[in-house]
Structure 1
């Protein structure tokens, strides 16, 4: 920005300078240099990306991003990102971050994730997942850790239009539950929600389901994760990373759209089921 006087450093300048100096102290691989260049070019926004997002945008694998942080001396990418955030926010101390001026806006970021999920809502991938559920007698929603609430959300509304909906959220019984599901004479589909950080048990469950020939729908933030190939259908919904914890606006919308697609496939049956539930509303709804 030649010819423009600046009385103070722009957001991200301190973090960019710190990153460059830190990288000069270490021998980086070509992939790690790509990560460093990407992070330096996109400060301060880069300070709020997950490993999967940083990898996708830098054009490298997720392990390359993790190894990059380790090469710089950090125990994890999360520790590296926290350090960058503190510097980008202009304080060497740990600070409470409340939408600082010049930093990512949480609402704008949520809108960006919705914009990225919009094409999925009109995709053949979603149509295939809808068809799988329509053809199934049993639906199971699997989610661990951060994905538990998302799986519960999908199962709650799915049960309003379908007779046999199950929730699988206990890591120690995942494989047993999937084995029973696959052995049943009922046609079944397993909906697997996998958001960062991906639990090893979730990946193991998905691979177990694939080995048993069970139809699976994977709802994941990154279509390039190595375990996506194990799923029958893959639906991508990015997470927001601008706040302390990831936000799941897009995954929740995608699950709602998935259930809506199944409901639309048999509107008469859907209407009958919804009317049956509506009769019960007066028994639980609060009225002042």
Structure 2
């Protein structure tokens, strides 16, 4: 393992070489810019987090030492280097060493937040973008009305997207008479989609968060071939899934931590639910009132 003294010695050697440090931005800012672009797996994010938090030492570690410090395998480090645009770990390390120079040379300290605060900042930005999108709510209102009229209404969320689909379906059942939730792919999903169409359903609401599952794309294609229209909540406005959907609501996901966070997709879901309630206020009122009476009768909830 490299000591801080060895790191400084290697940094001095690099200053006379072909790689010069970029001093226009703080080191962690440049690292985040480098790592935020690609879609990284949870294991690769662990590597990115370690590099951001320990750049002055990590930039001079061997691939073996970096893998050990980050708690991953050596092949994972190699794949990480490729994922962020480098030919291999040596090329990535050369770039990391150049970035580390500004810190080792005593560059002014940046006003940096910790990783948890940075994750919140990124989600605030996602919500600000969504707020701007809501300046024209016509599409949300129109799709909410269409979902409200679809009986049954099918909601699809596979793998990591299942939790978002469950949230939407749980709430939608309070205001809609027939909501069908699909969290399993393959032939089980295909059967359910075909049955939903045969029963009179007209729409599928699908959630597709990173990493996007192949089985989600297949299920959406099955839904379209069966005659269902598809509304999609995802993180990308372009791509195979968006190409298959009739309507796509692209909302940013938080990717600063090992696992994604979904503040904006949840707000997007709540907005569609609001549009569904407004589409048929009499039905909404009757169903919510009936549910509250039933909940009180059986004491579902604790008293405040």
The reply to whether residue 201 of structure 1 matches residue 188 of structure 2 is no
Q: Is the Cα–Cα contact under 8 Å of residues 161 and 273 in structure 1 kept in the other structure?
A: yes
Q: Is the Cα–Cα contact under 8 Å of residues 46 and 70 in structure 2 kept in the other structure?
A: no
Q: Is the Cα–Cα contact under 8 Å of residues 48 and 241 in structure 1 kept in the other structure?
A: no
Q: For residue 101 of structure 1, report the CA deviation from its aligned partner.
A: 3.5
The structure with the largest alpha-carbon Rg is 2
Residue matched to 2:30: 43
SS in 2 for 1:242: coil
The reply to whether residue 151 of structure 1 matches residue 199 of structure 2 is no
Residue matched to 2:82: none
Q: For residue 102 of structure 1, report the CA deviation from its aligned partner.
A: 5.7
Q: For residue 151 of structure 1, report the CA deviation from its aligned partner.
A: 0.1
Q: For residue 118 of structure 1, report the CA deviation from its aligned partner.
A: 1.7
Residue matched to 1:88: 52
Q: For residue 87 of structure 1, report the CA deviation from its aligned partner.
A: 2.0
Residue matched to 1:228: 242
Q: For residue 178 of structure 1, report the CA deviation from its aligned partner.
A: 1.1
The 1-side partners of 2:132 and 2:154 are apart by 25
* 81 and 106 in structure 1: CA distance in 2 versus 1, 3 angstrom threshold: closer
- RMSD, aligned CA: 2.8
**Residue-by-residue CA offset, 1:213-256 (whole Å, 9 max, x unaligned):** 21111111111122212111111121001111100111111111
Matched positions, count: 225
Residue matched to 2:227: 213
The reply to whether residue 113 of structure 1 matches residue 113 of structure 2 is no
> Superposition pairs for residues 187-198 of structure 1, below 5 Å?
187-198=201-212
The reply to whether residue 252 of structure 1 matches residue 266 of structure 2 is yes
Match of residue 113, structure 2, among 97, 101, 113? 101
Q: Is the Cα–Cα contact under 8 Å of residues 117 and 250 in structure 1 kept in the other structure?
A: yes
Gaps of at least 5 residues in structure 2 are 1-10, 20-26, 59-68, 72-111
Residue matched to 2:156: 142
Q: For residue 127 of structure 1, report the CA deviation from its aligned partner.
A: 2.8
The 1-side partners of 2:239 and 2:42 are apart by 19
The reply to whether residue 179 of structure 1 matches residue 194 of structure 2 is yes
Match of residue 274, structure 1, among 275, 288, 292? 288
- Please identify, of 79-88 and 268-277, the stretch whose mean Cα deviation from structure 2 is larger: 79-88
The 1-side partners of 2:114 and 2:262 are apart by 23
Q: Is the Cα–Cα contact under 8 Å of residues 148 and 176 in structure 2 kept in the other structure?
A: no
The reply to whether residue 131 of structure 1 matches residue 145 of structure 2 is yes
Q: Is the Cα–Cα contact under 8 Å of residues 160 and 277 in structure 1 kept in the other structure?
A: yes
The 1-side partners of 2:295 and 2:264 are apart by 28
Gaps of at least 5 residues in structure 1 are 1-13, 23-39, 55-64, 67-75
Residue matched to 2:63: none
* 77 and 157 in structure 1: CA distance in 2 versus 1, 3 angstrom threshold: closer
